[in-house]
DNA sequence: CATGAATGAGGTTTCATTCAT
DNA sequence: GATGAATGAAACCTCATTCAT
């Protein structure tokens, strides 16, 4: 579930070596893709930046698209890993939500180029791998579903059952929007301001009552 | 506002003919780009689908990227045109907002492939044209800024001044999300349901009081 | 003999108009060819610089190579015309030679770009037209043959009969060398110096005796 | 002197292989350029005639112009190599001059198509490479400068100091003229006759006295 | 007679991938 | 297991020429 449930075949047998070399490849490719886009990046550039020969690259990967998939998986892995840090908290749903939104937004800011990359290049994946990437995307959304459910369970959040998923999507997309529309948002808001305002708006939608309790200090 | 402000040079002098041929080109290219992506579409495919020879194509366009720009401009044009139909209403801000959100979401649904295209291929534009496309994107956001301001002015909407822009962006991104995440949302919601729920959530954030008035009828 | 003994066919009947239009074309093409070379100049550039539509250009010319031929013919015409001014003198052969060499070198300097053009692009002509151009080139050489013969006849020049043609070629090539090797010669000599030195060397080869008579004043 | 001083970059690392492949390329290209000219020769023709795939060609060369440069350098190399054979003699300047002129003319005859090629296609080189080719051309001229200086030093030649360079240029151009104007010269002279006559004329210009000594035997 | 839109063959160059070493 | 030279399909784009108006 959490690992690369689609083991890309290799001509190399030692799995540890495969792991290591692929890390090299992904590290190099991610930056190249961010800088020039998937299509304008050549396999030779990837090989060179990986410190591998082009022939060696193809020992660990079957096609350029495999590299893209590896990159997407890596990015989701990074994101998931960072999110898992906070998601496991013991607070009530509502406090957890606030904390996790803040954390999520910070992650998106941190990985903004990567987030953008996923949205822009994902369509170049072959259908099978595309499906896997979308599933990973969905897992992230599901993290928020869980948090929202906890809030509904402990009464700290008031939200119709059939709106939970949607709300989770909203959270995710509002986070990603920070990168999609950074050309506009950055002119008007800092990440801090952005996070605070969005959190405030979100809470208005789902706080039982009274609104804005506990946030007067502007700590988020 | 209506002028393209970046007249792509042509080798053909008759402006009417240019207009017509470019329409052909865009009509053909849009679908190809949607289907295969910008990079995997060849200029010859565009020419053939346009009913033009490859040489003729290049009489009306200087590069493949010009076609992409034309396509982006066309898409924004379509979007703007449809939106302008409704945005001019005389209602109070709040009613206008509800109507325009509904309309906007419908447009996004209508043009979903196009909206996706813009997000995915825009980065392949040369910097100058990229800037123009972003400006057009911003204009759409601004439509909602205007509506929100009207609502603030007539007292039908309650929203901090420095949140107006952000809220407008939220509306837009929530609309576009219908296409970005259709692989997930379609499984759980129809456009109707999606629109109603999102509108409801949005209103909760900015309705002066009391909440949820007038929605019981399910009119949106 | 002196006119374009190969009348390029036209779709236009009025000969005066043909003449005029072709003058336009040649005037424009010569400079373009000099600047960018024959192959890198497009017919459309020629048409535009001629003040004609591309279609009109082809009313007066059958191919791009025709234009090149016209240009070569024009250049030779220019050269011939200037040379004829002096060649008709009544002096003794020797004085006439000195004067005509000086004049020829000055012409070459004047038309240096054109002279270069002939040497560099002539090979792009179709065989028939190439032959005509070479014949014109030969005519120039023949001017000097005539002068040398006069000098032999009147005793002012001493030169073996079977060296006359060669010597004429030498004169021509030494003149053209001023343009071929201008990147080297210009660093060391002015046209004046170049002319004087070359004349002096040439005369040493063919003056009966004593050497260097009458040129001490350095007037050439 | 022997180094190419402008190493064209390659995608291939083994310098020996590069050397070998480029020899193949040049060998093929030279003849094609001679036959059809630079512009009318296609890169694919060059590749095929080299026995390489088009892709392979571009592993060793960055552009068609690079091929032209390689060809020019090769031609100059050939010329220089042949000339160096004789230039190193121990004779007096005058005898050396006669021998080297004869040798040079023979070389030009031998490489006539190549010499022509240089004059006609050199202008298609990018500026930097053009400069290098002109420098190589100048080096050839300089060989004769050296010989003339030796003759001046040992008293076997009489020539003003400031005419040395010019005279060297004259020798070179008279040699090259054998190819430029072969369409005319071949009709009247064999290479032997041409060489003898030109040598005789040249010597008249710079032999201290008495003129025409030692040529009666027709030894050159 | 003038025009210029239309055409498509063909040019140069790139690049993902393979396979012998 | 590592390498990189070889490959050729295919990409983008140009341009001489024609022909209907």
**C-beta separation of A159 from A152 below 8 A:** yes
What's residue B208's pLDDT?
A: 63
- Mean pLDDT calculated for residue range D163-180: 95
Chains in contact with A, where contact requires at least 3 CB pairs less than 8 Å apart: B
Residue B15, classified by CB atoms within 10 Å of its CB into exposed (0-12), middle (13-18) or buried (19+), is exposed
Q: How far is the CA of C146 from the C1' of F14 (A)?
A: 49
- Residues D139, D195, single domain; the answer is yes
D64 vs B93, higher pLDDT: D64
Number of Cα atoms under 13 Å in the Cβ half of residue A110: 11
Of B47, B62, B77, the residue that ends a domain is: B62
- Residue of chain D with shortest Cα separation from C204: D205
Residue C86 Cα distances to C48, C80, C95, C197, D180, angstroms: 37, 10, 12, 21, 26
Of B16, B44, B62, the residue that ends a domain is: B62
Q: Computed from CA positions of residues B186, B188, B189, B195, in that sequence, does the dihedral angle turn out positive or negative? A: negative
**C-beta separation of D200 from D215 below 8 A:** yes
- Residues D103, D201, single domain; the answer is yes
Q: Number of A to B CB contacts under 8 A, please give it.
A: 77
Domain of residue C84: give its range.
73-206
Instruction: Name the domain count of chain C.
Output: 2
Residues 43-102 of B with CB under 7 A from strand F: 43-44, 54-55, 58, 62-65
Q: How far is the CA of B197 from the C1' of E11 (A)?
A: 58
Alpha helices in C37-190 (DSSP H): 43-50, 54-57, 64-87, 93-110, 112-121, 127-154, 164-180, 182-188
What's residue D61's pLDDT?
A: 97
- Residues B101, B186, single domain; the answer is yes
**C-beta separation of A77 from A134 below 8 A:** no
- Mean pLDDT calculated for residue range A135-150: 94
DSSP three-state, residue A6:
coil
Q: Which residues of B touch A204 (CB under 8 A)?
A: 204-205
What's residue B7's pLDDT?
A: 80
Give a yes or no: residue A167 inside a domain: yes
Q: Computed from CA positions of residues D108, D112, D114, D119, in that sequence, does the dihedral angle turn out positive or negative? A: positive
Query: Which residue ranges of chain C lie beneath pLDDT 70?
Result: 1-6, 207-220
Q: Rounded CA gap, C176 and C116, in Å?
A: 8
Q: Which residues of D touch C194 (CB under 8 A)?
A: 166
- Residues A115, A194, single domain; the answer is yes
CATH classification of the domain holding A137? 1.10.357.10
Q: What is the pLDDT of residues C13-60, one digit of tens each?
A: 788 889 999 999 999 999 999 999 999 999 999 999 999 999 999 999
Note the Cα C72 to chain centre separation in Å: 9
Residues 48-67 of C with CB under 7 A from strand F: 54-55, 58, 62-65
Q: Rounded CA gap, A219 and A102, in Å?
A: 11
- Residues A201, A131, single domain; the answer is yes
- Residues A201, A125, single domain; the answer is yes
The residue among B209, B210, B214, B187 whose CA lies nearest residue B199 is: B214
Q: What is the pLDDT of residues A32-71, one digit of tens each?
A: 999 999 999 999 999 999 999 999 999 999 999 999 999 9
D-contacting residues of C 4-23, CB under 8 Å? none
Chains in contact with C, where contact requires at least 3 CB pairs less than 8 Å apart: D
What's residue C208's pLDDT?
A: 60
- Mean pLDDT calculated for residue range D164-171: 95
Question: A66-70: which pairs have CB atoms within 8 A and are 24 or more residues apart?
Answer: A66/A8, A67/A25, A67/A26, A67/A29, A67/A43, A68/A29, A68/A33, A68/A38, A68/A121, A68/A124, A68/A125, A68/A129, A69/A6, A69/A8, A69/A125, A69/A129, A69/A132, A69/A133, A70/A8, A70/A22, A70/A25, A70/A26, A70/A29
What's residue C6's pLDDT?
A: 59
Interface contact A119-B120, CB threshold 8 A: yes
DSSP states of B155-183 as a string? TS----GGGHHHHHHHHHHHHHHHHHTHH
Determine the residue among A113, A118, A125, A181 to mutate to test chain B binding: the one whose Cβ has the most chain B Cβ atoms within 10 Å.
Answer: A181
Q: Which residues of C touch D189 (CB under 8 A)?
A: 166
Q: How far is the CA of C55 from the C1' of F20 (A)?
A: 12
Q: How far is the CA of D14 from the C1' of E10 (A)?
A: 34
What's residue D208's pLDDT?
A: 59
DSSP three-state, residue C199:
helix
C-contacting residues of D 108-137, CB under 8 Å? 119-120, 123-124, 134, 137
Q: What is the pLDDT of residues D27-86, one digit of tens each?
A: 999 999 999 999 999 999 999 999 999 999 999 999 999 999 999 999 999 999 998 877
Encoded tokens for A86: 């906070």
Q: What is the pLDDT of residues B8-20, one digit of tens each?
A: 899 999 999 999 9
Give a yes or no: residue C88 inside a domain: yes
Interface contact D123-C173, CB threshold 8 A: no
- Residues A14, A116, single domain; the answer is no
- Mean pLDDT calculated for residue range D156-172: 92
Q: How far is the CA of C23 from the C1' of F16 (A)?
A: 21
- Residues B169, B212, single domain; the answer is yes
What's residue B217's pLDDT?
A: 40
What's residue C5's pLDDT?
A: 54
Q: Which of B141, B169, B184 sits opposite A169 (nearest CB)?
A: B184
What's residue C209's pLDDT?
A: 53
Residues counted in chain A: 220
- Of the pLDDT bands very low, low, confident and very high (cuts 50, 70, 90), residue B207 is confident
Residue B78, classified by CB atoms within 10 Å of its CB into exposed (0-12), middle (13-18) or buried (19+), is middle
- Residues B99, B23, single domain; the answer is no
Q: Is the pLDDT of residue A145 over 60?
A: yes
- Residues D50, D102, single domain; the answer is no
Q: How far is the CA of A8 from the C1' of F5 (A)?
A: 27
- Residue of chain B with shortest Cα separation from A176: B173
Q: Which residues of D touch C37 (CB under 8 A)?
A: 123-124
- Residues A167, A184, single domain; the answer is yes
Angle between helices B64-87 and B112-121 (to 10 degrees): 130
- Of the pLDDT bands very low, low, confident and very high (cuts 50, 70, 90), residue D6 is low
Q: Is the pLDDT of residue B179 over 70?
A: yes
Mean pLDDT of chain D: 89
Q: What is the pLDDT of residues A61-105, one digit of tens each?
A: 999 999 999 999 999 999 999 998 777 778 888 999 999 999 999
Q: What is the pLDDT of residues D81-128, one digit of tens each?
A: 998 877 777 888 889 999 999 999 999 999 999 999 999 999 999 999
Work out the minimum CA distance from B165 to partner chain A, whole angstroms: 8
Q: Rounded CA gap, A134 and B41, in Å?
A: 24
Interface contact A123-B37, CB threshold 8 A: yes
Give a yes or no: residue D213 inside a domain: no
- Of the pLDDT bands very low, low, confident and very high (cuts 50, 70, 90), residue D211 is very low
DSSP three-state, residue D208:
coil
Q: Is the pLDDT of residue D173 over 70?
A: yes
What's residue C27's pLDDT?
A: 96
- Residues D83, D103, single domain; the answer is yes
Considering chain D, what percentage of its residues have pLDDT values greater than 90? 75
For nucleotide E14, give the residue with the nearest CA to its C1': D55
CATH classification of the domain holding D52? 1.10.10.60
Q: Which of B167, B185, B204 sits opposite A169 (nearest CB)?
A: B185
**C-beta separation of B172 from A168 below 8 A:** no
Of B23, B38, B62, the residue that ends a domain is: B62
- Mean pLDDT calculated for residue range D135-153: 93
- Of the pLDDT bands very low, low, confident and very high (cuts 50, 70, 90), residue A26 is very high
Q: Which residues of B touch A120 (CB under 8 A)?
A: 119-120, 123
Give a yes or no: residue C219 inside a domain: no
Q: Rounded CA gap, C205 and D207, in Å?
A: 11
């Amino acid at each position: 579930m959490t690992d690369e449930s689609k083991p890309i075949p290799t001509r190399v047998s030692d799995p540890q070596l495969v792991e290591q070399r692929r890390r090299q490849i992904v590290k190099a490719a991610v930056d190249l893709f961010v800088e020039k886009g998937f299509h304008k990046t050549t396999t030779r550039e990837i090989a060179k930046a990986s410190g591998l020969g082009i022939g060696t690259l193809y020992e660990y990967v079957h096609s350029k698209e495999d590299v893209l998939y590896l990159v997407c998986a890596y990015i989701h892995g990074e994101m998931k890993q960072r999110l898992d840090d906070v998601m496991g908290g013991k607070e009530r749903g509502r406090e957890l939500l606030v904390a996790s939104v803040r954390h999520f937004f910070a992650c998106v800011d941190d990985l903004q180029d990567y987030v953008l990359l996923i949205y822009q290049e994902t369509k170049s994946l072959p259908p099978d791998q595309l499906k896997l990437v979308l599933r990973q995307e969905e897992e992230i959304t599901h993290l928020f579903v869980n948090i929202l459910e906890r809030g509904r369970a402990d009464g700290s959040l008031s939200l119709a059952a059939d709106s939970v998923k949607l709300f989770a999507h909203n959270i995710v997309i509002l986070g990603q929007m920070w990168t999609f529309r950074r050309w506009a948002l950055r002119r008007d808001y800092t990440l801090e301001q952005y996070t605070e305002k969005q959190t405030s708006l979100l809470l208005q939608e789902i706080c039982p009552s009274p609104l804005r309790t506990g946030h007067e200090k502007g700590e988020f």
